[in-house]
Amino acid sequence: MSGLGLGWSLKNLLRRRLRTALSVAGIAISAAMLVDMVMLSGGIEQSFAELLLARGYQIRLTPKGTLPFDTEATISRAGRLIEAVRRDSAVEAAGAVLGTSLYGVTSDSLVTLFGYGIEPDAQALYTVESGSDLESADTLGVLLSVPAATLLRARIGDTVRLVGRLDPQVVTAGRHRNLVVRGIVRWVYDYRGQPSVGAVLTVIQTLAGQREGDRASLLMVKVRDDGASESVVERLRAAFPQLEVSSVADLVRHFKQRLVYFRQLAYILASMSLAVTVLLIGTLLTITVNERLGEIATLRAIGISRSTVIREVLAEGAALTLIGSVLGVCLGLVAARYLDGILTSFPGLPAAFSFFVPRRESLTLAAIVLLATGAVAALYPAWLASRAPIAATLRAEAT
């Protein structure tokens, strides 16, 4: 005889609707946890790499033993170093960046800001949202983030007063500049709500009191061909042994080491979700098979083969898993968005960074693992159904 069809499996599940609904809900929760953990395990690295490559600059040079903006250490004679880097034929662009604390003057107080000294022609730190960008020789212009513009009560075209160091004795400005707001920008590495300003490198160096040393926090390098970035890194390391030369791959590896506990947590919770899924499906199908042993024995007696019975029980497990997984993916995406908002609110994390990145590859992997788990969970109930003794079962049912 031919197979009974998927309709038979669905009919069996609908016989105990409340029990099936509770099982599907449990599978959906487990599937949501698995989806979130798969997104977390690979999403951190992808998000960080995309953040670093936001403007295509693949290499960073920093003071020895540090990462970009990791400490207050600076590079001396930055201009000379940049010129040497640009002489490499594989380098498309290179620029220096100085990060420092500044103050902005309002009508009644001083507000703390973070200042970026940039070379506008070679920058990978911001995107202009309104207004215009700076010119390389524009020593009178400034770019503001939205939080900075709010604190300073400034709009495009307004003049703002920036202060460098304060004299601790009288709390007066040691260095200050009046600059015109050219544009409102989004700084790639800013954390949420960070008030930041940017001006050409020489202006920020002067405000920070570092103009004499021509200092920078890091140098950023853009290579013409992505495939040549590693060879350029090796040449730069040989040419500048006093600096830390890191490619995006190096920085991602360092970042992974710092956040290794997130991956460990993801693996543990994903394993727990799979174990819960196996127990739910296995328990439900075992109970269902035991309740229907008489029906299964009758089907076997009229010619239904063992393989057909096994296929139907496996199909029942697959149907449970499929329904629960579809609901679980939707629930997981909603939960991931909520959890991502919590985690990215930690101080010091860039606002553009994400912990949970929904990728087609990760969602496909989660779906395959869930379906395989449902099949494995149904193996024992399927074996139990196929091994039921026909005569003894029918006799027990009759009595």
Q: In the block, which residue shows the tokens 């860039």?
A: 350
Q: What percent of the chain has pLDDT over 70?
A: 80
Comparing 85-89, 152-156, 329-333, 391-395, the range with the smallest average pLDDT is 391-395
Examine the domain organization and report whether 43 and 69 are in the same domain: no
**Which of 215, 241, 267 represents a domain boundary (last residue)?**
241
Please provide the average confidence, as pLDDT, over all residues in the chain.
Answer: 79
Examine the domain organization and report whether 264 and 237 are in the same domain: no
Examine the domain organization and report whether 41 and 138 are in the same domain: no
Give the global pTM: 0.66
Within-domain flag for 251: no
Within-domain flag for 253: no
Examine the domain organization and report whether 86 and 217 are in the same domain: yes
pLDDT at 154: 92
State how far the alpha carbon of 328 is from the alpha carbons of 29, 99, 382, in Å. Answer: 6, 44, 25
Examine the domain organization and report whether 160 and 298 are in the same domain: no
Examine the domain organization and report whether 25 and 168 are in the same domain: no
Alpha carbons 399 and 395: distance in angstroms, whole number:
6
Domain count, the chain: 2
pLDDT at 354: 74
Per-residue model confidence as pLDDT tens digits over 242-301: 888 888 777 777 777 766 777 777 788 888 888 888 888 888 778 777 777 676 677 667
**Which of 175, 208, 241 represents a domain boundary (last residue)?**
241
Examine the domain organization and report whether 196 and 293 are in the same domain: no
State how far the alpha carbon of 357 is from the alpha carbons of 38, 39, 278, 386, in Å. Answer: 9, 5, 26, 43
Per-residue model confidence as pLDDT tens digits over 19-59: 778 888 888 888 888 888 888 776 666 766 666 665 667 88
pLDDT at 169: 45
Confidence class for position 196, pLDDT limits 50, 70, 90? very high
pLDDT at 144: 95
Per-residue model confidence as pLDDT tens digits over 289-320: 777 767 667 766 776 777 777 777 777 777 88
pLDDT at 178: 92
Examine the domain organization and report whether 72 and 220 are in the same domain: yes
**Which of 180, 207, 241 represents a domain boundary (last residue)?**
241
- Long-range pairs for 287-292 at CB < 8 Å and ≥24 separation? 287/19, 288/12, 288/13, 288/16, 288/316, 288/381, 289/313, 289/381, 289/384, 289/385, 290/384, 292/12, 292/385
53: three-class secondary structure by DSSP: coil
Examine the domain organization and report whether 35 and 69 are in the same domain: no
Within-domain flag for 28: yes
Alpha carbons 76 and 95: distance in angstroms, whole number:
14
Examine the domain organization and report whether 79 and 27 are in the same domain: no
Confidence class for position 159, pLDDT limits 50, 70, 90? very high
Alpha carbons 280 and 41: distance in angstroms, whole number:
25
Within-domain flag for 160: yes
Comparing 196-200, 311-315, 334-338, the range with the smallest average pLDDT is 311-315
Within-domain flag for 249: no
Examine the domain organization and report whether 219 and 180 are in the same domain: yes
Per-residue model confidence as pLDDT tens digits over 107-119: 878 899 999 998 8
313-342: average pLDDT: 83
Domain extent, residue 312, equals 6-51+259-398
- Which position has the higher pLDDT, 366 or 396? 366
Confidence class for position 67, pLDDT limits 50, 70, 90? low
117-126: average pLDDT: 82
Within-domain flag for 250: no
Examine the domain organization and report whether 47 and 70 are in the same domain: no
Residue 17 reports pLDDT greater than 60: yes
Comparing 60-64, 165-169, 209-213, 364-368, the range with the smallest average pLDDT is 165-169
Comparing 85-99, 142-156, 166-180, 200-214, the range with the smallest average pLDDT is 166-180
pLDDT at 6: 54
Residue 3 reports pLDDT greater than 50: no
64-78: average pLDDT: 75
pLDDT at 1: 39
